[in-house]
Each structure stands twice: as structure tokens, then as C-alpha cells.
Chains A and B, each alone.
Chain A
Amino acid sequence: MRIKEDRTSVWFQILAHVIVIAGCILCILPFVLILSASFSSNASIIQGGYSLWPKDFSLEGYKVIFQVPDEVLRAYGVTTLVTVVGTTLGLLLMTMAGYVLQRKDFKYRNVFSFFIYFTTLFGGGLVPYYMLINNYLKFTDSYYALIWPSLMTPFLIILMRSFISSAVPDEVIESSKIDGAGDFLIYWRIVMPLAIPGLATIGLFLALHYWNDWFSSALFINSTAKYQLQFYLYNIINTSSFLSSIGAGAGIILSDGVPTETMKMSMAVVVTGPILFLYPFVQRYFVKGLTIGAVKG
């Protein structure tokens, strides 16, 4: 019997390795193409397309970006600030909500869950939202306009609710209550440590959301000093697609020229590079047994 188990698990291990490695290759290929393109000359991309290794090694894309680095560096600062503040605040509020909504003794938890969920079904559209941010909340051209729109999403709250309810057995909360702990104290001292994998996941998603956001900059920000990092990438892409769609009749010539393919790819690398390291960092909280250890400790 012992042998049999070993054999299936060996097969399982082989199968798992093969499938996962194949998946990894598929996932990494486009990255190699982008990276290689960012180190190619623009002419070689237009003439020969993308390749796994630069045909004509060149740093022209990066040169354009880093010749005058202050814009990109400042955008790094803005995005980092917004991501850190937004994620911290959002995570705090969402875990509290998730905790409350999974408490079985909280009578209206389904009503409130629905109240939150309902917003994913109906929305007023862009125009009223634009007016809310600009005309009523008066967030125009401020960091609030970058933090506020992504602060929380119904999906992450409900997900948090589920993570907490599966990580924290009801009995734990019950017994703490009997011990005389207040609701907030239970949340802070007991639930939070138990829900670390959930916290890591939600935090990761929220941080990615902030890091990848460019739409808030496009809509609500007027001064270049407050542009998010991603917005630089999108603006480069949009500038060239605008120029190719506008036609000769508009007679538009831009003084700083048309962004090149190399520039787009270099910018893509510059913008996504740092955040790629967030996942490996968060990963260490996805370790089995972490929850159990915490309960015992």
C-alpha cells in the first residue's frame, strides 16, 4: 500500500512539473519579445518584426526615456505613494468590512453584502462619476483623485469575507467573546493574524490595481507632476495611435515627434519592471500551515 501511494504521487509530480513548465514557457515568451524589442533599434522592429533576441542591439528607447529622467522618476514617486497609501487604507477598511460581514451574529450581513454587491451591477456611467469627483468631491488635480476611485471594490470585500470565514473558525470568535474581548479587539488581535494569506492576496490585488491605474490620471489630473507611471506608457501608445488615426486633413504635426516602437516597449519594461517583484514578496505568506501555527501560537 505504501508503494502504491508513492507511485501515484510520483506520477502526479511528473505530470505537475510538465504542465506547469509548459505553462510557464507560454507565459514568459511575450515578455522575452517585449524585453528584446526594448533593446532593439526602431528600424529593425519595423523592418523585421519582433524577435526573441535583439537583431540590432540598441539602447535608443531607454535613452529617450532616461535622457531627461525627472518625469519618469517623479511618476515613480507618485505611483508608489498612491499605491502604498491606497493599499494600506483600502486593506484596513476592507478587512474590517469583510470581518463584520462574515460574523454570523450580525443580523444584517446579507443586506449589507447586497448593498455592496449591487454596485457591480448598476452604475451611472462615466459622466455622473466625472461630475462626482470634480464638481462635488472637488478632487480635481489632487492625489485624492488617484486614491479614492480604487480604494475598495465589492469583489475584494466579498473575497475578504470568504477568506476570513474560512480561516477563522466560528468557535474562535465565540470563545473570545466569552473571554470578554470586544468586537474590534477580536478583529485586530485574532482575526487579522489568522487571515494573513487572505490579507496578502487582497493586498496584492489592490496594490496591482493602484499600480496599473492610468485612467484616473487621464480623467482627473491636469498637472504633469501628478501623473501616474502607467499613464506615461498609455499616453505614449495613445499619442501614436491618435496620430495614425487622425488623417492628413487635421494637419497635425507634433513637435516632439511620434513615439517609436522601441520607446513603447522600453516604457513598458520601465513601468512593469518593479511591480513584478511584488508577487515573489507576497508569496511567502502563501505557505501551508501558517494559519494553523497562528492559532496554536
Chain B
Amino acid sequence: MSRKNGFIQELVKNRILFLMLLPVLVYFFINNYLPMIGIYYAFVRFDFNTSLFKLDFVGLQNFDFLWKSGKLLELTYNTIGYNAIFIILGNVLSITVAILVSEVKSKWFKKITQSVLFLPYFVSFVILSVIVFNIFNYEHGVLNTVLKSLGADPVDVYSKPKLWILLIVVFYLWKSFGYSMVIYLASITGIGEDYYEAAKIDGANTFQRAWHITLPMLKNTFVILLLFSLGSIMKGQFDLFYQMVGNNGLLYSTTDILDTYVYRSLKVTFDMGMATAAGVYQSLFGFTLIIVVNGIIRKINKEYALF
């Protein structure tokens, strides 16, 4: 009762703020919360002529296909492994480049490079995969043509699963680091010039300024990026993996993630129960992880925590 009172009091006190927030809340309620009813599909057997809540309840049967192949552990491991590398390297790279770009003195150089580094974001993985195939193709790819002309043996890149771990990471970084770099750049822009002036007077050089002023100021942004990527650690980058690897089973041992597995498995079976089940598994995983990590962040510094 008292809690409710508190809420109403708050509602009255901050009514303008509530009103400003309302459209967003309504949007997410309609757009995201209402469709969550569909999670129920994960636990029933689908049928065309029966409505959702009259369908047969089948318990966890729709989850069966995830472990029937004996690959669930491997897939989970791959997915998390790749995402962990993506998160670490992606952030290191984009923070470094953002600092470098922001510290460069020449204005036009700064402007041009910023735009150029953002370019790869516009190339879709479908098109990239065509280019990559042109480079690595065994018979007449660019790489082997060069190797042969140098007298070296040609390399069959498409039969080396281990190598693809590296390639996938490189392609990911190439395409996406521009996006987070822009975010970091914007954050750097927001840092007051007076901090730097003060540091200069104290005799700090460029490296020291970057290390002691810029980096700490980016912590907040970093935490946000981190929490969002952790929440979807079991999902993501379907296009990258699917387009690059395609039908080549030789590479699956190192390049198969949950999303590609689910896509391939369910393309032949039109069962929405199983697709939903896979999504539930991914969500639960991300959810648990987030609760833990957010808890840790909260302990360290309450302000940085997301909720």
C-alpha cells in the first residue's frame, strides 16, 4: 500500500517527465511486450486450424532438436567464443582508432579518414562473401594466382577450419568497428576541453592524456556497449557466418553458431515451435549472464549499471 502511494506521489510530482517517457513505454509495450505472448509457441505443437492457447502442450519437446544432433555444447561454445572475441577486440580496436583519429591535428585528414573508416559498415555480408570467394577461390582466386606466380604452392583456404576463426573475426571487425568507433568519437567530443587544458599545464604528454583522461571518460559508453553485446551473446551475426561459410560443411566445426544451426535445421521443417524454442534458449542464456554482470557492475559503481 505504501509502495503504491509512493508511486502515485512520484507520478504526480514528475508528471511531465512521465508524459515525456510515455510514448516510448507504450511503443515498447505494443511492439515488444505483446508479441512475447508468442513465446508460448515454444511449448506447444503448432497446427494451422487451432488458436495458440488451444494447441497441444508438449512441454520441452520442441527443444529436443537442439541436443539431438549432439552439437548443443559445441554450438554454445562457438557462439560465446566468437562473441567474446568480437566484444574484446571490437572495443579495443574502436577505442584505439577513435582516440587516434580525435588526436590527429590535421582537420581535413581527420574528416576524410573518419568517413572512410565508416565505409565498410555499408557493405552487406552477401556482397562481401562474393568478393572473399574471389580472393580465396582455390583454382583462380587472387591469392592463389599471386602465390603461383611467385612459385609457391596454392592454398585451399576453404578446407582449413582453424583459419576461418581468424578470417571471421577479421571480417567482423572490418565491417563493424566503424560503428562503435563513431560512438566513441562522439563520447570523446563530449569530454570538456578544460580537462585537457589542465593536463597540458601539468605537463602530460599526448599518450598520458589519452590514458588518464580520455579512456576513463569512455568507461560509461563502454559499459553500455558491453551490456548490450552480452545480452545477445548467444545470438547475432547470422549473416556473417551464413554468407561466408554457406554449404561448406568442412568448416562447420569452427564456424557453426546457434543461429546458423537453427536456420539450417528449420529451413526444411516449418515448425514455429522449434524456432521459438531456440530463441528462448538464447534469451535465457543472455538474460542470466546480464543479471550477473549488471550485478557486478552495480557493486563496483552504481552509476554505470544499466538498471
| A residues apposed to B, CB below 8 Å | 1, 4-5, 8-9, 12-13, 15-17, 19-21, 23-24, 26-28, 30-31, 33-34, 49-50, 93-94, 96-97, 99-101, 103, 105-108, 110-117, 119-129, 131-132, 136-137, 148-149, 151-152, 154-155, 157-159, 162-163, 165-167, 182-184, 187, 197-198, 200-201, 204-205, 208, 212, 233-234, 237, 261, 264-265, 268, 272, 275-276, 279-280, 283, 286-292
Number of A-B contacts (CB under 8 A): 265
- The answer to whether B272 and A5 have CB atoms under 8 Å apart is no
A184: which of B6, B16, B186 is its contact (CB, 8 Å)? Answer: B16
Known: A122-B36, A123-B36, A159-B224. 7 other contacts (CB 8 A): A27-B117, A27-B178, A97-B23, A100-B18, A234-B126, A286-B189, A289-B193
Whether B59 is near chain A, meaning CB under 8 Å from some CB there, is no
A288: which of B18, B113, B189 is its contact (CB, 8 Å)? Answer: B189
For the complex, what is the distance from the CA of A97 to the CA of B247, rounded to whole Å? 44
* Contact segment of B70-78, B79-87, B96-104, B146-154: B96-104
- The answer to whether A124 and B228 have CB atoms under 8 Å apart is no
- The answer to whether B122 and A275 have CB atoms under 8 Å apart is yes
B283: which of A12, A13, A113, A122 is its contact (CB, 8 Å)? Answer: A122
Q: In angstroms, how far is the closest chain B Cβ from the Cβ of A240?
A: 11
Q: In angstroms, how far is the closest chain B Cβ from the Cβ of A43?
A: 15
- The answer to whether B113 and A132 have CB atoms under 8 Å apart is no
- The answer to whether A9 and B206 have CB atoms under 8 Å apart is yes
For the complex, what is the distance from the CA of A167 to the CA of B116, rounded to whole Å? 27
Contact residues in A for B6 (Cβ distance below 8 Å) = 107
Q: In angstroms, how far is the closest chain A Cβ from the Cβ of B120?
A: 5
Q: In angstroms, how far is the closest chain A Cβ from the Cβ of B145?
A: 9
For the complex, what is the distance from the CA of A110 to the CA of B27, rounded to whole Å? 18
Contact residues in B for A93 (Cβ distance below 8 Å) = 23-24, 27
Whether B198 is near chain A, meaning CB under 8 Å from some CB there, is no
A13: which of B105, B115, B183 is its contact (CB, 8 Å)? Answer: B105
Contact residues in B for A289 (Cβ distance below 8 Å) = 193
- The answer to whether B21 and A198 have CB atoms under 8 Å apart is no
Contact residues in A for B114 (Cβ distance below 8 Å) = 279, 283, 286
Interface centre among B35, B104, B194, B307 (most CB of A within 10 A): B35
B:31-52 near A, CB below 8 Å: 31-39, 41
Q: Which A-chain residue is minimally distant from B15 (CB atoms)?
A: A183
Contact residues in B for A152 (Cβ distance below 8 Å) = 24, 27-28
Contact residues in A for B1 (Cβ distance below 8 Å) = none
- The answer to whether B38 and A125 have CB atoms under 8 Å apart is yes
- The answer to whether A123 and B17 have CB atoms under 8 Å apart is no
Contact residues in A for B115 (Cβ distance below 8 Å) = 276, 279-280, 283
B:259-288 near A, CB below 8 Å: 272, 275-276, 279, 283, 286-287
- The answer to whether A12 and B207 have CB atoms under 8 Å apart is yes
B206: which of A8, A49, A162 is its contact (CB, 8 Å)? Answer: A8
- The answer to whether B182 and A132 have CB atoms under 8 Å apart is no
Q: In angstroms, how far is the closest chain B Cβ from the Cβ of A60?
A: 18
Q: Interface size on B (CB < 8 Å)?
A: 95
Whether B185 is near chain A, meaning CB under 8 Å from some CB there, is yes
For the complex, what is the distance from the CA of A187 to the CA of B21, rounded to whole Å? 12
Contact residues in B for A157 (Cβ distance below 8 Å) = 24
For the complex, what is the distance from the CA of A74 to the CA of B190, rounded to whole Å? 39
- The answer to whether A128 and B38 have CB atoms under 8 Å apart is yes
Contact residues in B for A9 (Cβ distance below 8 Å) = 205-206
- The answer to whether B276 and A125 have CB atoms under 8 Å apart is yes
A132: which of B28, B35, B228 is its contact (CB, 8 Å)? Answer: B35
Chain B, interface SS category: helix
For the complex, what is the distance from the CA of A152 to the CA of B119, rounded to whole Å? 23
- The answer to whether B116 and A121 have CB atoms under 8 Å apart is no
- The answer to whether A197 and B189 have CB atoms under 8 Å apart is yes
Contact residues in A for B253 (Cβ distance below 8 Å) = none
For the complex, what is the distance from the CA of A36 to the CA of B202, rounded to whole Å? 52
Q: List 13 A-B contacts (CB under 8 A).
A: A12-B206, A27-B119, A100-B20, A110-B307, A114-B307, A121-B290, A123-B36, A137-B30, A152-B27, A197-B189, A272-B122, A291-B189, A291-B190
Q: Which A-chain residue is minimally distant from B123 (CB atoms)?
A: A30
For the complex, what is the distance from the CA of A13 to the CA of B102, rounded to whole Å? 11
Q: In angstroms, how far is the closest chain B Cβ from the Cβ of A221?
A: 18
For the complex, what is the distance from the CA of A113 to the CA of B307, rounded to whole Å? 6
- The answer to whether A27 and B120 have CB atoms under 8 Å apart is yes
Whether B174 is near chain A, meaning CB under 8 Å from some CB there, is yes
Contact residues in A for B307 (Cβ distance below 8 Å) = 110-111, 113-114, 117
B41: which of A13, A115, A125, A187 is its contact (CB, 8 Å)? Answer: A125
Q: With A132-B34, A183-B14, A200-B186 in contact, do A155 and B21 touch (Cβ < 8 Å)?
A: no
- The answer to whether B116 and A264 have CB atoms under 8 Å apart is no
Contact residues in B for A182 (Cβ distance below 8 Å) = 16
- The answer to whether B203 and A1 have CB atoms under 8 Å apart is yes
Contact residues in A for B290 (Cβ distance below 8 Å) = 121
Whether B141 is near chain A, meaning CB under 8 Å from some CB there, is yes
Contact residues in A for B189 (Cβ distance below 8 Å) = 197, 286-288, 290-291
Contact residues in B for A275 (Cβ distance below 8 Å) = 122
Contact residues in A for B122 (Cβ distance below 8 Å) = 212, 272, 275-276
For the complex, what is the distance from the CA of A233 to the CA of B116, rounded to whole Å? 22
- The answer to whether B228 and A155 have CB atoms under 8 Å apart is yes
- The answer to whether B41 and A127 have CB atoms under 8 Å apart is yes
Contact residues in B for A129 (Cβ distance below 8 Å) = 35, 38
